[in-house]
Amino acid sequence: MIPNLNDVCTCCGGYEDQPLLQIFGDNCFRVVEGKATHGEFCIGDFAFPVDGYQCTGLNVDIDGGEIVLFDNQIFAASPSQTLESEKLYVRGLMLRIIYPTNNTDGEEIQLVDKSVKLVMENADLISAEYPLYDFFTIFTNPKSNKAEDLINKIKIVNPNLLYKIRVSALIIYGKAI
């Protein structure tokens, strides 16, 4: 357990009473403020079929450096495209961005400056970009044969000029039926 935000970010100050979202040993995310719990989301009964997996840890360069985490290579001419039977497709992802403490100038990186871009592409090859701080997860239908039920590709882009990031990911594959 992290006692307070000052242990996460000593740069900002004044967050001794800041509520935190934390995960606990009982598989529950909780919003805690000191010893008080304000809400929880438990995943103790979560299960997801897995036909394959990949654990990866990658560095992403500064100033537009990017890494493609996965590419299902789906090119749907129409949303009703059926996936290739018995082929493995990425169905789930748990992603963590690890920021350095200091930038290349030796200065501490402020919490507000810790942001990368998550670019997601669907089966129609339409991309959308989202800001990402530290953690992202997604699980799609584990047994669907529909292309529109999958994310085609995800990449991480580091727009920061003064530091590299580390990406840690667990990529889950499922076979089309």
164 closest CA partner among 121, 109, 100:
100
Q: What is the pLDDT of residues 148-177, one digit of tens each?
A: 889 999 999 999 999 999 999 999 999 998
- pLDDT tens string 3-44: 334 444 444 445 566 898 999 999 999 999 888 899 999 999
pTM score:
0.84
User: What percentage of the chain reaches a pLDDT higher than 70?
Assistant: 88
Question: What pLDDT was estimated at residue 10?
Answer: 42
Confidence of residue 82 (pLDDT cuts 50, 70, 90): confident
Backbone dihedral region of 34: left (phi > 0), alpha (psi from -120 to 50 degrees) or beta? Answer: left
Tell me if 142 sits within 8 A of 177, measured CB to CB. no
What is the CATH number assigned to the segment(s) 52-175?
Answer: 2.60.120
Query: Domain-by-domain residue ranges, the chain?
Result: 5-42, 52-175
Could you read off the pLDDT of 126-144 as tens digits, one per residue? 999 999 999 999 999 998 8
Buried residues in 32-57 as b, exposed as e (16+ CB within 10 A): beeeeeeeeeeeeeeeeeeeeeeeee
